Chains A and B, each alone.
Chain A
Amino acid sequence: MTAVRAERLSKWYGHVLGVSDVTWTLPGGVVGLLGPNGAGKSTLMKLMAGLLRPSRGAIEVLGGDPFADPWVRRRIGYSPEHESTYDELTARELVTALAHLAGVPRAQAPAAAVRALEAMGMSEAMDRKVRGFSKGMRQRTKLAATLAHDPDLLVLDEPLTGVDPVARIDIIERLKGLAAAGKTVLVSSHVLYEIEALTEDIVVIYRGQVLAEGNIYEIRRLIDRHPHRIRVECDRPREVAAAVAGADHVARLVMERRAVIVETRDPDRCYDDLAAAIVERGVELRAMTSPDNNLGAVFEYLTGGRGGGGGEA
């Protein structure tokens, strides 16, 4: 069965366009949904998860209507982009509650939650309150909540945003494991290199429309021609900047008060160098993100500058 089938799917927020006339199928496997911020990724994912109702057209997920049919949502695991959770609860309590609300019988929900948390590497922290968690721990907890009810389709909206490099690698490996076990996994990102580490199959979305789908390498070649920006937020940004300043792939460094933005023509090497610099110097990393302006420029380039509608976050 096709996991997702969209037929002339559109979604407006008032006059703002979220998704425009999308006809697309997701047969299965691991697929990356790539596009800059505001491209319509989150809207498309919310439509899949049953949070939104199409303004026009139709979307069918696992053979049913995700907005109208709770039984379809029972088979979907959706992880939203934002970090908000029920911070008063421990990770175990949160995942248990959400597993039960997703249809896991009450008696089985605690065990399902523990297994999902363990699967996401949260064994040690599962009895701590979510309020004190780092971004990476929150993402892992959210992913555990997404998995605990054993869904067939995982819809993960920017699951690697703000996660430190070590956790990022770990989470990617865990997601690969799920895919290898037969789950259909759709992961969105505005960072090509995150998606590349996960899958070769991508869907490119821009201004609410699916521009292309297929192999990642063609897109990557285009993107690599443009400088890629990496923003490192840490306690000693100048040390990190100094460590990578001499590298031939670094085009420019921009210092901020508690961060450094590295502009590079070889993101893979740059990420490696930054990770090494951070670990060697014992720098306290707060966040490593990739501003998407360059990706936006690439999409403009890919579309030949043709405009679509408005975007959404």
Chain B
Amino acid sequence: MSGPGGPGLPVGARGPGGLSGLAATRALAALALVRAARGKALWIALALALLPVIVVSVRVGLDHDRADVWRAAFELSLLTLPIVPAILIGPSLADELEDRTSAYLWSRALPRWSIVVGKLVGLAPVAAVCLTVGLATSWLVAGGPGAVAVADAWRGLGALAAAGVAASAVVAAIATLVPRHAVATAVVWLLFVDAPVGALPIALQHGSIGFGARAVAGFGPDAVTGALTLVAVTALAVALAVRRIARME
């Protein structure tokens, strides 16, 4: 076969130009999703997200108050929050940098920010879904609508999903800063810095994902403040990751 580009080259394969940021984001999101679906990380994340169900089942078996069980389920889900996004998003970005497959992306006609945003668009919803599947299962085990009102359950699920997205953004930022130890650093940050800060009765707690999640779920003082916290953390982390990757060589 032959074409204008030479033997074996595609005829007219060249597009009109580089990929727009949006198109690149979409393509990278799809690529990240396919890779995650074929790896083990997705299943490990889902299994971890379901761990609280075991504790909830035990507490239900011991006939604890169902409202308390629901609160406990939410708190336990917050404990899995540092791990689920870390094992989904961390390797996706960090391995790219460590294994040097980033060379394939760097040399393409796409804006660099789309690499971070594309992976987040592809994988942050997966992390959020894993977390909410865990909490929704706990809710059902705890007694479903008979134990906790559907509206409250939705609120909790929404809060956890939003917290999952924020945690994913933090993991992305950490992965661009310390790709070699991305997962461990992200887990340590979220578990031993973010979570304790969120529990402190000081103004600093407003920068914590845990605080934001509790507030949105109705376990904190002000849902709006909680939502703003989650949005601010997400935006800050994405901005940091994008800035870092734009300068990376």
Give A contacts to B, CB under 8 Å.
46, 49-53, 70-71, 73-74, 76, 78, 80, 82, 84-86, 88-89, 93, 97-106, 108, 111-112, 115-116, 118-120, 145, 147-150, 174, 177-183
Contacts and interface: CB of A to CB of B under 8 A. Distances in A.
14 contacts: A52-B249, A71-B109, A73-B107, A102-B108, A102-B109, A105-B15, A119-B1, A119-B7, A145-B104, A148-B13, A181-B4, A181-B6, A181-B9, A182-B6
B220 interface: no
A53 B249 contact: yes
A70 B109 contact: yes
Q: Top 10 A-B pairs ranked by shortest CB distance?
A: A119-B8, A181-B6, A112-B13, A74-B109, A177-B7, A70-B18, A112-B10, A78-B107, A70-B109, A88-B38
B99 interface: yes
A84 B99 CA distance: 6
For chain B, what secondary structure do more than half of its interface residues adopt (helix, strand, loop), or is it mixed?
loop
B245 to A, nearest CB: 13
A150 B27 contact: no
Interface residues on B, range: 35 or more
A35 B169 CA distance: 42
A155 B175 CA distance: 29
Contacts of A50: 106-107
Greatest chain A CB density within 10 A among B17, B35, B101, B103 is at: B103
A73 B18 contact: yes
Contacts of A182: 6
B142 to A, nearest CB: 37
A224 B54 CA distance: 72
Interface string B229-249: 000000000000000000001
Interface string B10-50: 11111111110001100110110011001100000000000
Contacts of A181: 2, 4-7, 9
A112 B14 CA distance: 9
